[in-house]
Chains A and B, each alone.
Chain A
């Protein structure tokens, strides 16, 4: 077929965009950011559907009635989606322990939808196998039983092992995408990669893995993509409420090549492959204890977060860091001063701004990101 590589990429991105904002299909279990063990849901034959708010297209008609003006946007749009019937096909909702807002949202769900399955996933903050590990295993056993009940079939170890393998593949593809982006961000702009990743919230992981691989292959071979004069930056703060897509486009147009970020962190929460032999449930527990990513919602003993950020900066040969956090996001905004201090100590340039999922105007951000990008280029040239 006479299809150029660039047309293939465009097609892939279009497909990803359609999927990225799709309603969850039947037989799915919705979950809020950041981390849930999706393997357990998948092994029951259900689809884990990541819910990341309503974006900037959804008009909030009912959701605002439930929240005071000083609460972030994601619970409003999530409630809006539910009350307007968009989530009716979900077989259940999981609320991981991200912050007090999402925690209480789980209780609101219990009150608003008393007939639906709701579970708060209390992710442990203790990483001792005999303590946090035991607790987490208990939580996962409960979740496993619940999923079995909803699916109407048992989850045997073989099925769970298979699901772990499927997600190992998915994580490997995502790692590959990040590695490629870090090598050549102009070939894999975040504004595209974002859509490709986000599509994974509403399609089976096998399909998502294929989509990522298609995209990588297409973009790699797209000769029309040229290296651009951009500054290499790490983005931090976007792990829960999502930036509008236009904001990512704005950053790139302002001269920022994003080489690492914390978007959809749950998809790559476990760093590396989870072993397939032995007790698969225990393997999930151990992976959480030993191979978890780090984020503001997780307790950070001895300044782990700052270490992670500096490491990412160095590994990805970045030139600066942009803190881009949602307004009223407690975890991101409370930890920001600590990370800023660490960057200052290391002499790393940084800038900060806030957004909300429905930010409609990017003029200020364009200006600020452009100035930042210019200044770090001058700075690294000198």
Chain B
């Protein structure tokens, strides 16, 4: 069958979406953008194709068996994880040998990491992150801390060098290599066997691909297959919520306000100026300064009863201003409430510049997951524009990649015509 791929190479994460000919999403992938964009692109594409094969399995079943498939996928992920772990072990052993660190120590840690990995992927377990590097790092660090013979610093150095090398390896044909063992370990796996076989043998013909995102110039695509993230974001938001006329995206490095026509075509857009004040990165600084996790900021700000008025969202002064205010006795939640409002006020200016807020309004990007930011946005929209339908998707991180994949589909259709 024909499939179409969209890749969004962002400043922090790279995303891929695969569509079938009916423009239905059949696979998605996400990974951290590394220094090597080609690898990030290859990794995320492979992941999306794996997910596409799982969709094929679902489609190949006469009676739906969501729980069995879930189990299968969990086992599959475990095998992928273990494979990565083996590579990590190899790389670390090589580095350890060069530095004179005993292999037994590395092997000891890695053995324990494998045991923990099985726990991470046990039925019903929750994982803090789906990225190998995050899970592995947490396990490794906690295990390395307990080692006495070798300093923690030198163990960290080995890990840091090794993970870079491992991340830059691409693992192709992952589905074919792991699905067999995953199936064996899956309870009731027999019921899927036929569908899995069909999914394995199905030919997924990549009939078009489009790249987008801030790093799009560096994607291994010819120029005609590159689209600006503004266009992709617009079309992606339109696909998710067809009534969308205005889109706000607040990402790590930039903020975009986009106006759409009823077909998802961009009619106007505005982006923040060279100053990154008020973008997601700013919240990152604040979280660091307050010693909080990024996801904790919103809930804390929601506890505020007396919001402080904050005039500047300048990242350069964020730390100093925060310390000053805390020293004055202002409460953390009140300051945070003020900060969230200040960020949204900046976004409101961009929205106004782009042409205001029409119904419906779709909010995307990392900051759309922050409840305090969403709350401030709802208030300000109600105060200044009146009632608006506000859409926020849990999958908004894929908006750009989805738009890119849609462009891939459409240009293929045009190309055939």
Contact = CB atoms under 8 A, between A and B. Distances in A.
Any A–B CB pair closer than 8 Å: yes
Interface of A: 56-57, 59-62, 64-65, 68-69, 356, 358-361, 363
Contacts, number: 36
Contact of A68 (B273, B324, B325): B273
B309 A59 contact: yes
A355 B127 CA distance: 48
A356 B311 CA distance: 10
B353 A65 contact: yes
Given A360-B311, A360-B312, A361-B324, A59 B349 contact: no
Contacts of B320: 361
A360 B310 contact: yes
Nearest to A63: B349
B311 A56 contact: yes
A65 B384 CA distance: 13
Interface string B293-312: 00000000000000001111
B87 interface: no
Given A62-B352, A361-B324, A69 B309 contact: no
A258 to B, nearest CB: 24
B346 interface: yes
Contacts of A359: 311
Given A69-B275, A361-B321, A62 B384 contact: yes
B348 interface: yes
Contacts of A57: 309
Interface size class of B (residues with CB under 8 A): 20 to 34
B380 interface: yes
Contacts of B346: 64
Contacts of A361: 320-321, 324-325
B384 A360 contact: no
Contact of A360 (B309, B352, B383): B309
Contacts of A65: 348-350, 352-353
Interface of B: 273, 275, 309-312, 320-321, 324-325, 345-346, 348-350, 352-353, 380, 383-384
Given A61-B380, A64-B346, A69 B273 contact: yes
Contact of B311 (A68, A69, A358): A358
A61 B321 CA distance: 21
A65 B353 CA distance: 6
Contacts of A356: 311
A59 B342 CA distance: 10
Nearest to B325: A361
Contacts of A358: 311
Given A56-B311, A360-B310, A61 B384 contact: yes
Given A59-B345, A61-B348, A360-B312, 10 more contacts: A61-B384, A62-B352, A62-B384, A65-B349, A359-B311, A360-B309, A360-B311, A361-B320, A361-B321, A361-B324
A69 B349 CA distance: 11
Contacts of B352: 62, 65
Nearest to B321: A361
A372 to B, nearest CB: 20
Nearest to B314: A69
B311 to A, nearest CB: 4
Contacts of B383: 61
Contacts of B325: 361
20 contacts: A56-B311, A57-B309, A60-B345, A61-B345, A61-B383, A61-B384, A64-B345, A64-B346, A64-B349, A65-B350, A68-B273, A69-B273, A358-B311, A359-B311, A360-B309, A360-B321, A361-B320, A361-B321, A361-B324, A363-B324
Contacts of A59: 309, 345
A356 B321 CA distance: 15
A318 to B, nearest CB: 30
A68 B353 CA distance: 11
Nearest to A84: B384
A268 to B, nearest CB: 31
A358 B309 CA distance: 10
Contacts of A69: 273, 275
Contacts of B275: 69
A179 to B, nearest CB: 36
Contacts of A56: 311
Nearest to A65: B352
A236 B384 CA distance: 39
Of B311, B346, B380, the most chain A CB neighbours within 10 A belong to B311
Nearest to B384: A61
A41 to B, nearest CB: 33
Contacts of B349: 64-65
Contacts of B345: 59-61, 64
B309 to A, nearest CB: 7
Contacts of A62: 352, 384
A57 B350 CA distance: 22
A57 B312 CA distance: 14
A61 B275 CA distance: 19
8 interchain residue pairs of minimum CB distance: A65-B352, A64-B349, A65-B349, A358-B311, A65-B353, A363-B324, A360-B311, A361-B324
A56 B309 CA distance: 9
Nearest to B270: A65
A64 B309 CA distance: 16
Nearest to B327: A363
A380 B353 CA distance: 54
A111 B325 CA distance: 40
A359 B310 CA distance: 9
B380 to A, nearest CB: 7
A113 to B, nearest CB: 17
A65 B349 CA distance: 4
Contacts of B348: 61, 65
Contacts of A360: 309-312, 321
Nearest to B310: A360
A261 B320 CA distance: 30
A363 B353 CA distance: 34
A60 B344 CA distance: 12
A94 B309 CA distance: 31
A306 B47 CA distance: 70
A292 B273 CA distance: 41
A85 to B, nearest CB: 13
B183 to A, nearest CB: 57
